[in-house]
Structure 1
Amino acid sequence: MTLPDLPPTGAPLPDSATDVGALVSYLEYDPLPAIVLDPQYQILAANRAYQRQFGVEGQAHVGRKCYQVSHHYDVPCDQAGEHCPMKRATESRGADRVLHIHHTPRGPEHVDVELRPIFDAGSRIIAYVERLATVRGASARPSAAGLVGRAPAFNDAISALQRVAPSMLPVLLLGESGTGKELFAHALHEASDRAQRPFVVVDCSGITETLFESELFGFEKGAFTGATGRKQGLVETAQGGTLFLDEIGDVPLSIQVKLLRLIETGTFRRVGSTETQRADFRLVAATHKPLEQMIAAGLFRSDLYFRISAFPIRLPAVRERVDDIPLLADSILARIASTGHRPARKPVIAPDALALLRAYSWPGNIRELRNVLERASLLADDGVIRGDQLPESLRREVMAPVETLPAPAFALPRKASDAELVRAAAEWGGKRSELAERLGMSERTLYRRLKALAGVEKA
């Protein structure tokens, strides 16, 4: 989604427009939810679009701090391990944009936030305008379809996807096998201006070299033995939409030159034809292979690589988003239950099984997680997946002894108990981000645990 333009960043408003009411009147013409903030993070006003989407019982949170409303924090976002757009906008004296997970009346949602400072005639920042666009291609809650996740590494990939979706730049999705490249490609298509046109997948690893050209470009009647009629290729099928080349690293060298010509000229010929056809598609490619190393080995064309990699997006492995495993597992079980096969009801995961799932390395990523949960759900006769119903190989890896490393000067347990966490926070003399890294968690997770523990102590 492209955010509509505001007046140029830094341009002073006329005196009559510095009144909050006048500014809100202007924002009423903006179809996106928008609020006005003062430099102390307080919400001064909100347009009707914001009230409809984020207000509670007709209230638009006017008078409250933005971080209290959006994140349920008691400090600004940057002090809780988040990117704070107001801090960045203040420092740069320009616009800042970030993808956040906001608390909404519907639950947590991914929100694309753009914040711009408003200046008075003396070039002093007197207010900020924040506009919010809900991201439809990803869910921060369990979902029976599409992308799900809340971890920082996942959010970075979604943020990049939102940035590039409105353009026509070719996108290259990078990452290990099983990280959900096709789902990301489809989400990019849905967020683009071509969402109402076809999304066509080409499985480059599943087509033999002899059939690749005819599958991609189509063929004419009589082009070869068995060609009894004209066939439309996948490039023509994607006309006006998105062509997704999955595992492009498997494309044979003999075909790479023809693929390069297609991308560079926007034209192709069906097998057996001399007539040139025009192609109109958005290109998205994906691979788990190291293309740059393949170029050095002469296995992949450098000119093709530079054509397809205008906007690379790296998709995180499951082990890089451990905090998402409960959310992913819940979503996968919902999808298994919705297929109509056994089990009819969605199973639940026992704490011991969830601990094993979180501790496992997941070399097969989400694909492997789904396979494990499908198997375990068939063994869960009472609807509860327990640790002993997970594969033995998984349990064996998790339970294997870990090599003991020399203790740092300030020794901290990687999985601290509540008491150990409170003690560590009290004794730690460095930055909270460094403490979080030493404890093996994100800074945001550390902040939330300490906040929750502080609430328990007060109670």
Structure 2
Amino acid sequence: MKIETDKNGGSFAQGVLDSLHEPAILINRDYDVLLSNEAYRQRYGLVARGPKRKCFQVSHRYELPCDQAGESCPLKMCTETAGRARTLHIHHTPHGEEYVNVEMWPIKDPQSGELSYFIEQIFPVGDMITVDPNSSSRLVGVSLPFRQMLDLVQRVAPSHATVLLLGETGTGKDVVAQMIHSLSDRRDRPFVPVECTGLPESLFESELFGYVKGAFTGANTNKTGLVEAAEGGTLFLDEVGEIPLHDQVKLLRLLETRRYRKVGSSDWVNADFRLVCATNRDLRAMVEAGTFRADLFYRLSVFEIGLPPLREREGDVGLLIERMLNELGETKKSFSVEAVRALNRYPFPGNVRELRNIVERAILLCDDQQILPRHLPGYITEDTADISETRIRALAEVEQDYLQLTVAQWQGDRKQLAAKLGLSERALYRKLAAMRDK
């Protein structure tokens, strides 16, 4: 199969691309970008004609295919499955990097049946997630575990499926729940968070379903329950593992029937809400121990998303620090390389929430513009305060820490960064790929 063009440069393939509203390109099996539509050229500045460029060069400034640089590659996925592929990527633009959903589908040669070409369409995800710490987004990060989590969020958000968020305290489960709501078709309806640890056992039913006047002593007026408040929107049950066993059956009945009765009323009310739950508990272990109902667990765990702890989000600490400084109005302050290095070595049992506390504390202790290791809590710096034979670090480790910090803070493109570091672009990408593979 061959892409035929007329003397005016038009083609059937170009017409197909131009019929798509979102940015799109045509690629061959060798990753060459053959054609682009007007939406792509306007957004990303790729010329319609000229020397062939590889899709990974255009999108990421890589010199190797995405899967060889630690990324998921939709072209490889299409080739392996002979079907459509979708992934979340960080895409390079003239205005910096942005998160996008990439969808690709293959075009078969009608005669040989071989996969000859691929159409890649790009859907920007908006300002909900970003690599720019100066943006208003509450979710900032570039690490592979963070991106894998976001990919799951992007896939489930438009559906009506129940979502169970699993993660340690301070990983941002409430923020992800709000993001799922904001990306759904219920975004214009209420988002109602429920802190299950704060609901007294005796009040669980009345808080969830409400009550009518006279239902019990002190019920002087009708009360709207949280389920009713979430009508048409999203009900977020935070720390669902804390619901007492005898109250779990009430939640189960609601999910099975989508109906409830207010306390003191005999009338059934239909419920319309999307359920998102979160917990830092191991619900499977609780089911085995008999402290969590198995039937309720399977109702809640339709689509599980694990939120990575901060210690596994390599390369994100620097971005998060800069974002927090901006949120706190401390744009003139910055963390020294040594301070960021100390934080990168710390396991953060309290995750992002703990990091924010550390940043706020350091701001108060720092009278200058640069925050140093001495402004950090002693339990973070005590293991690195003195240089001894057992604490000498390998040069490769030091280089990796410096490279992580530099990449997180660099505002230009990767070619300029490579020149600043005294490296070739190929060498820089090899180092970045090696970091992602660890």
Provide TM-score, normalisation by structure 2.
Answer: 0.85
Runs of 4+ in 1 over 4 A off after TM superposition: 12-16, 397-404, 448-453
Q: Decide which moves more: 221-230 or 324-333.
A: 221-230
Cα displacement (A) at 1:457: 11
RMSD (Å), alpha carbons: 3.1
- Shift of the alpha carbon at 1:451? 12
Gaps (5+ residues) in structure 1?
1-11, 338-342, 405-411, 422-444
Question: Which has the larger displacement, 83-92 or 19-28?
Answer: 19-28
Report the alpha carbon displacement of residue 259 of structure 1 after superposing the two structures with TM: 0.5
Post-superposition offset of 1:307: 0.3
Tell me by how many angstroms 1:382 deviates: 2.1
Give the unaligned 5+ runs of structure 2.
404-413, 428-438
- State the Cα distance separating 1:399 from its structure 2 match: 5.2
Tell me the residue number matched to 2:432: none
For 1:32, the equivalent position in structure 2 comes to 22
Deviation of residue 372 (structure 1)? 0.7
Deviation at 1:297, TM superposition (A): 1.6
Cα gap change, 1:70 to 1:452, in 2 (>3 Å): farther
Letter in 2 for 1:152: L
What's the counterpart of residue 263 of structure 1?
255
Closer/same/farther in 2, CA of residues 354 and 205 from structure 1, 3 Å limit: same
Question: Aligned residue for 1:431?
Answer: none
Counterpart residue identity of residue 163, structure 2:
V
Aligned to 1:252: 244
8 Å CA contact retained: 1:95, 1:117 = yes
- 1:413 shift after superposition: 6.6
Q: 1:138 aligns with which of 129, 133, 144?
A: 129
* Counterpart residue type for residue 64 of structure 1: R
Deviations 1:77-107 (A, max 9, x none): 2222222211221222222221111111221
Contact 2:4–2:11 under 8 Å retained in 1: no
Cα distance in 2 between the residues matched to 1:213 and 1:403: 61
TM-score w.r.t. length of structure 1: 0.81
Q: Specify which of 375, 384, 393 is matched with residue 389 of structure 1.
A: 375
Q: Matches of 1:355 and 1:197 in 2, distance apart?
A: 43
Deviations 1:125-176 (A, max 9, x none): 2211001111232111213441111000000000011111111111100011
SS at match of 1:274: coil
Does the alignment pair 1:156 with 2:145?
no
Question: How far does the alpha carbon of each residue in 1:240-298 deviate from its partner, in whole angstroms, 9 at most, with x for none?
Answer: 11111100001111211010111111111111111111111111100000111111221
Instruction: From the superposition, tell whether residues 206 and 27 of structure 1 become closer, same or farther in structure 2 (CA, over 3 Å).
Output: same
Q: How does 1:237-386 map to 2 (within 5 A)?
A: 237-337=229-329, 345-386=331-372
Q: Distance in 2 between matches of 1:371 and 1:141?
A: 21
Identical residues among aligned pairs (%): 46
Taking structure 1 as reference, are residues 13 and 204 closer, same or farther at Cα in structure 2, changes over 3 Å only? farther
Instruction: Indicate conservation of the 8 Å contact 2:63/2:426, yes or no.
Output: no
**Alpha-carbon distance change, 130 to 355 in structure 1, aligned in 2, over 3 angstroms:** same
Q: Offset at 1:213?
A: 1.5
2:386, 2:143 → 1: CA distance? Answer: 27
* Correspondence for 2:107 among 111, 118, 122: 118
Instruction: Map 1:429-444 onto structure 2 (within 5 A).
Output: none
- Quick check: 1:53 aligned with 2:43? yes
Residue in structure 2 matching 1:65, options 54, 59, 72:
54
Aligned to 1:442: none
Determine which of 381, 397, 417 is the counterpart of 1:415: 397
Cα distance in 2 between the residues matched to 1:272 and 1:200 = 23
Residues 414-436 of structure 1: per-residue CA shift (max 9 Å, x gap): 61548xx9xxxxxxxxxxxxxxx
Instruction: Supply the distance in 2 between the matched residues of 1:91 and 1:244 (Cα, whole angstroms).
Output: 38
Match of residue 42 from structure 1 = 32
Aligned length: 405
Is the CA contact (8 Å cut-off) linking 1:35 and 1:45 kept in structure 2? yes
Question: Amino acid of the residue matched to residue 368 of structure 1?
Answer: E
Q: How far, CA to CA, are the matches of 2:421 and 2:365 in structure 1?
A: 36
